[in-house]
Chains A and B, each alone.
Chain A
Amino acid sequence: MKSFTYERPSTPAEAAAAVARTPEAKFIAGGTNLLDLMKLQIETPRHLVDVNGLGLDAVEPTEDGGLRIGALVRNTDLAAHPRVRTDYGVLARALLAGASGQLRNKATTAGNLLQRTRCPYFYDTAQACNKRRPGSGCSALDGVSRQLAVIGASDACIATHPGDMAVAMRVLDATVETVDAAGTERRIPIADFHRLPGDDPARDTTLAPGALITAVTLPKPVAGTHIYRKVRDRASYAYALVSVAAILTRDGTGHVAFGGVAPKPWRVEAAEADLPKGARAVTAQVFADAKPTPENAYKLKLAERTLGAALNQARA
């Protein structure tokens, strides 16, 4: 970990300004991913702007019946929030399926969106990784890839987005609110927030440099059974092999996004019309362009069967 200076501003504007004026500065909130990566010098900020004093920790109803979640709301608190439990069950379930109790107590809404991949080659600084060291190559392509992406990846990177919360937010059509040092506010649909690697895997998101996430808003609740089904080898405290975030009605209509399969939460809205026809009809479209490795090809069948389980659950 390189040495860094540290400050703790008290308003979002100050925080954004602090990052803007300081070279190699980063925001730190829960720190559970950033510090992990700093210890390995995968992240090397020279100035940390601690945003924990900014407030931004409220969960409030919006005028159109939705919910505005402050960037610093902890995963535990968001999952336990009465409105989230009642109206956005898929989000509560996704949060509770993630990490551990200790980590959820620290991890924030904004930080969760920004967590970086768990690809083993990203984490091993002796190995080539285009996301960590652009231009060095992708060791995962012909390396250990059982956990990695089957779709949306590129020849430069097959890393997955490791999170659960963002998958639920994708199916909920959340919007990410940001502010920059100039005070400009921006609203980014969650669908556009995470980006695909293409030939530039180093950038995980479309967040502008120096911009601070202030909140995530959810539209008004969508009726139906809210399901987050996370499949993993061990029963808890593990990243998803495949996950399904779905809001489904009894007749099978609804919305679905997949986690653990792509560099971002993976949703193909056009395929959702076929949900009443069953899982296979949907996954055939959602994963039509999949390019799995031999090690992770199982994810295609797993995604289909997991969606099938969700459809069964909604019908039951």
Chain B
Amino acid sequence: MVGATAPARQDAGVRAERTDEPVLATVTFTVNGQRRDLELDTRTSLLDAAREHLHLTGSKKGCDHGQCGACTMIVDGRRINACLTLAIMHQGAEIVTIEGLGQPDNLHPMQAAFVRHDGYQCGYCTPGQICSGVAVLEEIRAGIPSHVTADLGAAPQVTEAEIRERMSGNICRCGAYSNIVEAMTEVAEARA
């Protein structure tokens, strides 16, 4: 149990009086390799913990309801929608945000490929696309199938169809999809 400074839960009467007060809880996790100790309102999403408390604003809030993918982070090696999870549920987690993948003077290969292929326009979905893109190539490498994997018994390959299906949780309203697929394909080929 995370150290919640909770009211006496057994006493419903006391609790009713205090229900609107924020409940604070502490959580410790690692963000981009750095240990972070936070005391947060239990309601704080992982996304808001990053954006509002750690000032890591690279992860974007596009919908706050898991409908766009702009908030994608890689948590314990897996990409998730940071808007639909509570920060306090990630005690001990290893979290990677866009800031952890690379910096302007030290771009991650996926970031560099996005620049080269113009895999973005307004830039708002971009961190999520890139985090997802990095994780997608890992998922394929790990043999996780997708909706378009023809043979569930075989290892999936990096194809354009696989990339498109797996990236479909990241909406780009500017419509950079075609270029994003090319950027990811280039990164995948460079690694192969």
Contact = CB atoms under 8 A, between A and B. Distances in A.
A13 B108 CA distance: 46
A237 B91 CA distance: 29
B84 A2 contact: no
Given A92-B152, A96-B145, A236-B165, A103 B81 contact: yes
A3 interface: yes
B42 A35 contact: no
Contacts of B88: 6
Contact of B41 (A3, A9, A50, A102): A3
A176 to B, nearest CB: 24
Given A6-B42, A85-B153, A102 B86 contact: no
Interface string B76-90: 001111001110110
A23 B65 contact: no
A79 interface: yes
Contacts of A202: none
A36 B10 contact: no
B189 interface: no
The size class of the interface chain A forms with chain B is: 35 or more
B85 A47 contact: no
Given A6-B2, A99-B169, A101-B139, A36 B144 contact: no
A21 B86 CA distance: 23
B191 interface: no
B9 A76 contact: no
Contact of A31 (B12, B22, B42, B84): B84
Contacts of B15: 23, 46
B60 to A, nearest CB: 14
B2 to A, nearest CB: 6
Interface residues of chain A: helix, strand, loop or mixed (majority) = mixed
A7 interface: yes
A35 B84 contact: yes
Interface string A27-64: 01011100110010000001110101000000000000
B6 interface: yes
Interface string B151-192: 011000000000011111111000000000000000000000
The size class of the interface chain B forms with chain A is: 35 or more
B51 interface: no
A230 to B, nearest CB: 8
Contacts, number: 136
Contact of A3 (B23, B78, B167, B171): B23
A235 interface: yes
Instruction: Give the one of A30, A99, A101 with max B CB within 10 A.
Output: A101
B17 interface: no
B184 to A, nearest CB: 13
Contacts of A28: 86, 89
B4 A6 contact: yes
B20 A106 contact: no
A19 to B, nearest CB: 11
B97 interface: no
Given A97-B147, A101-B139, A101-B169, A9 B1 contact: yes
A102 B145 contact: no
Instruction: Give the one of A4, A5, A22 with max B CB within 10 A.
Output: A5
A39 B168 contact: no
Nearest to B41: A3
B21 A3 contact: yes
Instruction: Give the one of A9, A86, A237 with max B CB within 10 A.
Output: A237
**Closest A-B pairs by Cβ, 7 of them:** A100-B169, A236-B168, A5-B6, A85-B152, A105-B78, A96-B147, A237-B168
Interface of B: 1-2, 4, 6-7, 9-10, 12, 15, 19-23, 25, 41-43, 45, 64-66, 69, 72, 78-81, 84-86, 88-89, 91, 132, 135-136, 139, 143-147, 149, 152-153, 164-171
Given A4-B23, A236-B164, A237-B168, 18 more contacts: A2-B19, A2-B20, A5-B42, A36-B84, A39-B65, A79-B144, A80-B145, A89-B152, A93-B147, A93-B152, A102-B66, A102-B69, A102-B81, A102-B169, A103-B66, A103-B169, A105-B80, A106-B85
7 contacts: A2-B19, A6-B86, A23-B12, A35-B84, A76-B144, A100-B168, A102-B81
Interface of A: 1-9, 21-23, 28, 30-32, 35-36, 39, 46-48, 50, 52, 76, 79-80, 85-86, 89, 92-93, 96-97, 99-103, 105-106, 235-237
